[in-house]
């Protein structure tokens, strides 16, 4: 059984890819809509959010040992209300994964295949995601474990090579407009992105060690916060005010890197790496969504849906989002409240309900002794 479960390091790698892909791709642009030179401070709110999520996950694992998020909701709310909460979570998974599909689709369409219809570029992702699902979560985790050191090394290399183009005067003055723009810009990383770590609760049966999930999420949050702050510092210092008008600032940072006459146009490698990372993210999220579907409707197995589910989510990405403007509107205006309610509100309500029930059982009236 242990051979079919993922280790703590593999778990951290999976959680890193769930956040890092969309974070590197989109966050610098969205944060720049609220604050420019203080964007690196706004990205730091992710760590505060990840600490809250780590505490929530640790509390959940202690209150519902060995149970997934759906199983815990059913235990706390009962079978019918628990099923209703599970259906809501299933709808959230569907909307979230279709958004990620469309994010990747727009990115590939903009950078690699501008003359290819959107639905075709989106469909290209279906097969690798379905193939990843067939090898199971352990196979996906080992793939993430293999490419994670390469990703970290590539990231640090890009940061180092970008320093020659950086003007750190772009980062000053610090807090010229006060904390209000920083906090508004930090809502997306602190709410939408940090709460995605709660998806880990749906992977509980596949983990070798669940006692340290909270601690592992703190490590993940610290790693991603460091990467986020470095990303913002480099993007702001290299691009300056132009970051507000560029959809993919880090791509532009990579494009201007030149070392001598032989090393340039590293954006091709950047696009390839990001597409691979998005495939890992989509595979993990689809696996968690299928696990949710199985537990909500008490299905015996879901292996037959490994191809159907990515196809349905691909169709949903085309149906829900006609263009990138709708994706941006959803991420900036809708996702913070939706993610907080779904990934923080529901689990915390379940935990409070479960704690109250246990307290009432312990403090209930003592039974009278039976008469002889």
CATH code for position 263: 1.20.1740.10
Residue 360 has pLDDT above 90, yes or no: no
**pLDDT confidence of residue 372:** 43
Band the pLDDT of 149: cuts 50, 70, 90: confident
d(CA 280, CA 143): 8
Mean pLDDT along residues 152-163: 85
**pLDDT confidence of residue 344:** 94
Residue entry with tokens 């993919």: 248
Band the pLDDT of 368: cuts 50, 70, 90: low
Contact 281, 89 (CB under 8 A): no
Band the pLDDT of 371: cuts 50, 70, 90: low
**pLDDT confidence of residue 89:** 95
pLDDT digits (tens, 9 = 90+) for 8-67: 999 999 999 899 888 888 888 889 888 888 888 888 899 999 999 999 999 999 999 989
**pLDDT confidence of residue 259:** 73
Q: Is residue 263 part of a domain?
A: yes
**pLDDT confidence of residue 161:** 85
Which letter does DSSP use for residue 5 in this model? S
Band the pLDDT of 196: cuts 50, 70, 90: very high
pLDDT digits (tens, 9 = 90+) for 213-271: 999 999 999 999 999 999 999 999 988 888 888 888 888 888 888 776 666 677 778 88
d(CA 207, CA 366): 40
Domains held by the chain: number: 1
Q: Is residue 201 part of a domain?
A: yes
Q: Is residue 363 part of a domain?
A: no
Least confident of 251-255, 316-320, 362-366: 362-366
Least confident of 17-31, 84-98, 145-159, 356-370: 356-370
**pLDDT confidence of residue 343:** 94
- The boundaries of the domain holding residue 275 are 2-347
Band the pLDDT of 298: cuts 50, 70, 90: confident
Q: Is residue 352 part of a domain?
A: no
Long-range contacts of 144-153 (CB under 8 A, 24+ apart): 144/10, 144/13, 144/14, 144/16, 144/17, 144/280, 145/9, 145/10, 145/13, 147/276, 147/277, 147/280, 148/13, 148/16, 148/17, 150/273, 151/20, 151/273, 151/277
The pTM of the full predicted model, rounded to 2 decimals, is 0.91
**pLDDT confidence of residue 263:** 67
Mean pLDDT along residues 334-338: 92
Q: Is residue 361 part of a domain?
A: no
Q: Is residue 197 part of a domain?
A: yes
Residue 348 has pLDDT above 70, yes or no: yes
Mean pLDDT along residues 108-137: 82
Residue spans of alpha helices (H) in the chain: 8-32, 39-43, 45-63, 69-77, 79-111, 118-123, 126-134, 136-162, 180-185, 187, 213-239, 249-255, 267-296, 308-320, 324-329, 335-340, 346-362
pLDDT digits (tens, 9 = 90+) for 163-193: 888 888 888 888 878 888 889 988 988 999 9
Per DSSP, the residues of 33-85 read TT-STTHHHHHTHHHHHHHHHHHHHHHHHHHSTT--HHHHHHHHH-HHHHHHH
**pLDDT confidence of residue 324:** 80
Q: Is residue 18 part of a domain?
A: yes
Q: Is residue 262 part of a domain?
A: yes
């Amino acid at each position: 059984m242990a051979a079919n479960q993922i280790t703590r390091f593999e778990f951290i790698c999976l959680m890193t890819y769930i956040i890092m892909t969309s974070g590197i791709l989109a966050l610098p642009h969205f944060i720049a809509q609220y604050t420019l030179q203080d964007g690196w401070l706004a990205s730091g709110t992710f760590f505060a959010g990840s600490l809250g999520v780590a505490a929530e996950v640790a509390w959940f694992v202690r209150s519902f040992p060995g149970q997934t998020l759906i199983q815990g909701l059913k235990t706390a709310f009962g079978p019918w209300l628990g099923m209703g909460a599970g259906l809501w979570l299933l709808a959230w998974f569907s909307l979230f994964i279709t958004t990620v599909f469309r994010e990747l689709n727009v990115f590939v369409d903009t950078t690699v295949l501008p003359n290819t219809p959107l639905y075709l570029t989106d469909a290209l992702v279906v097969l690798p995601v379905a193939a990843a699902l067939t090898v199971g979560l352990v196979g996906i985790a080992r793939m993430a474990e293999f490419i994670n050191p390469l990703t970290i090394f590539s990231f640090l290399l890009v940061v180092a090579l970008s320093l020659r183009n950086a003007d750190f005067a772009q980062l000053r003055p610090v807090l010229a407009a006060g904390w209000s723009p920083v906090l508004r810009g930090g809502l997306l990383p602190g709410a939408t992105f940090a709460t995605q770590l709660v998806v880990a609760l749906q992977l509980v049966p596949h983990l070798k060690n669940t006692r340290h999930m909270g601690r592992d999420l703190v490590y993940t949050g610290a790693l991603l916060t460091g990467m986020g702050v470095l990303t913002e510092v480099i993007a702001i210092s290299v691009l300056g005010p132009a970051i507000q008008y560029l959809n993919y600032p880090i791509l532009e940072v990579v494009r201007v890197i030149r070392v001598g006459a032989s090393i340039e146009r590293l954006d091709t490698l950047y696009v390839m790496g990001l597409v691979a990372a998005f495939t890992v993210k989509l595979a993990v999220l689809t696996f968690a969504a299928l696990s949710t579907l199985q537990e909500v409707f008490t299905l015996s197995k879901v292996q037959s849906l490994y191809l159907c589910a990515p196809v349905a989510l691909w169709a949903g990405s085309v149906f829900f989002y006609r263009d990138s403007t709708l994706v941006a509107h959803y991420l900036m205006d809708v996702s913070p409240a939706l993610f907080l309610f779904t990934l923080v509100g529901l689990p915390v309500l379940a935990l409070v309900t479960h704690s109250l029930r246990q307290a009432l059982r312990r403090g209930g009236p003592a039974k009278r002794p039976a008469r002889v």
